[in-house]
Chains A and B, each alone.
Chain A
Amino acid sequence: MTTVHEEFLELAAAAIDFELTPAERASLDAHLASCATCRRRVAAIEADQRAMFALPRLAPEPATSAALRARVGRRQRMPRSTVRTLAIAAALALLAVTALAVGAQIVRRLDRDRPDVTPTLAPDDLADIEPALLTSGATVDVIVTDLRVRTAPTVDDSKSAKLEPLLGRGTQLRIVGGPVNADGYDWYQVEAIGWPHRGWVAAADHDGSPWIQLPVASPAPAKLTAEQAALIVGLRPDAAIDCRPRRKKLPDRATVGVDCYVNAAVVTRIGLYGFPTARDAATTYLERLAAYGVAPRTGDCTARTEGDRAWQSGDGTKGAAADRVSSKGAADLVLGRIGCFHDENGTANVRVVCGTTSVGLLGRDDDLADVERWAWASTDGRPGSGAPPSICPTGT
């Protein structure tokens, strides 16, 4: 490969992640038009990009990746060679996110946006959404204290009988028909789950206050910035669950943080924090342990005793200052460490320093050994082997 060809190979590679200038684009296109070898290599580079996504041990599991993309509101992976593709993908991603956010509010919006007494359908901008959300089969919750069910969609007692009892707040209803607009209400035919009712209910009061609503399940997925997402690239799939931007204060020296609501048998939540240097991460780690009365190289988490040890080899030996951290006069501690303590609530906590990333694990109860074992789960690494606990994201 000659230098001139390599130059165009680099331009083609750059085009995957960045917009080329018009001059660069023109010069690349002109060269590719006349160089079959370069076209083949460029196609190979673009194929590398797609194949990289499928790498089992370098990228998160597909399910995790899909969740990650959903959380950060990103497009599916696809060629980014044209602006048009990008625009379509971005629009699709935006639609998906919007649909989630809108879902829980749709009943409220439909009614608020509709003039109270006008017996018409929803405004045009919502007409497309309505049938998809409150059609037969949808499950809704009663969100008022008492909801009347009637035999027909009208408040006219001569045409519709009141069913007893009234349905309480939280009762689940399955939509089986409707909506029918009558007497200024939108009526849906419903079956009350766990009740003998099958009848018609009005979806909202005249003022638009909803009486039934799609269940507010989990809040819309939080958007991660690229910097936050970088923290969980390579994180164990069983740990990269429901990860959200850190809301509470970051640990000292940390510049970025993510909390993952793992909800596993022994671990409820983990936090991942990024630091400028590994030494910063280790220093904050030691300070945290000291605050709970845990000194370096003491205790034994596997024996349910608060403590600290190095997972990295070379602890207790002299080394470059940048590779060692000091605590109370001891200046020979390696940076890769794991420790455990009980927090204010008596709950087991484990902390791990993985290079510039540190991981905090919050247990379900006071069992330090369970949480520590989870941090190491499914790896052969153990302190002394020099291998980090598996909870450390690959590449940290």
Chain B
Amino acid sequence: MVRVESPESDVLEREGRSALEAAVAALPTDARTALLLSAEGFNGDEIAVAIGRTNAATRTLLTRARVRVRLALEGTGGAG
């Protein structure tokens, strides 16, 4: 079967959806909502309005959430 390789399929296959799902689910509500809105295509300014935080706070929140998810997937901790 011919399969198109992409970064997504790589992530999904190597680490599995459940791992990503668990990593995202483990985030605080605001961080999770911000990530999901971002995945939906909203930009940082819009997300800041949606979750009622400043742009700077939202940037920090999203940035840390992304790094935290990545580190969790790589199994190097960083979830605390």
A positions within 8 Å CB-CB of B: 1, 6, 9-10, 13-14, 16-18, 41, 43-59, 65, 68-69, 72, 74-77, 80, 225-227, 229-230, 233-234, 355, 395-396
Supply 15 A–B pairs (Cβ within 8 Å), ascending by A: A9-B70, A17-B58, A41-B70, A44-B7, A44-B11, A45-B67, A47-B11, A50-B39, A53-B39, A69-B41, A80-B43, A225-B50, A227-B50, A229-B40, A395-B36
- A48 CA to B43 CA in the complex, in Å? 16
B12 to chain A, nearest CB (A): 6
Set A13, A58, A75: member contacting B41, Cβ < 8 A: A75
B18 to chain A, nearest CB (A): 10
- A252 CA to B62 CA in the complex, in Å? 31
In the complex, chain A residues whose CB is within 8 Å of the CB of B21: 55-58
A52 near B39: Cβ-Cβ < 8 Å: yes
B positions within 8 Å CB-CB of A: 7-8, 10-12, 17, 20-21, 24-25, 29, 32-33, 35-47, 49-51, 55, 58-59, 62-64, 66-67, 69-70, 73-74, 76
- A395 CA to B37 CA in the complex, in Å? 12
Q: A74-B42, A229-B50 are in contact. Are A47 and B8 (CB under 8 A)?
A: yes
B7 near A17: Cβ-Cβ < 8 Å: no
> Is chain A's interface secondary structure helix, strand, loop, or mixed overall?
helix
| CB closest residue in chain B, given A19 | B44
A226 near B70: Cβ-Cβ < 8 Å: no
A78 to chain B, nearest CB (A): 8
A225 near B62: Cβ-Cβ < 8 Å: no
B60 to chain A, nearest CB (A): 8
| CB closest residue in chain A, given B30 | A395
In the complex, chain B residues whose CB is within 8 Å of the CB of A13: 62-63, 66-67
B70 to chain A, nearest CB (A): 5
B37 near A55: Cβ-Cβ < 8 Å: no
A48 near B41: Cβ-Cβ < 8 Å: no
In the complex, chain A residues whose CB is within 8 Å of the CB of B76: 1
A58 near B50: Cβ-Cβ < 8 Å: no
A6 near B67: Cβ-Cβ < 8 Å: yes
B11 near A17: Cβ-Cβ < 8 Å: no
| CB closest residue in chain A, given B28 | A395
B36 near A59: Cβ-Cβ < 8 Å: yes
In the complex, chain A residues whose CB is within 8 Å of the CB of B7: 43-44, 46-47, 50
In the complex, chain B residues whose CB is within 8 Å of the CB of A395: 29, 32-33, 36
In the complex, chain B residues whose CB is within 8 Å of the CB of A17: 38, 43-44, 47, 58-59, 62
10 further A-B contacts with Cβ under 8 Å, apart from A17-B62, A74-B41, A395-B36, are A17-B47, A18-B44, A44-B11, A48-B20, A52-B20, A54-B12, A55-B20, A229-B42, A234-B36, A396-B29
| CB closest residue in chain B, given A17 | B44
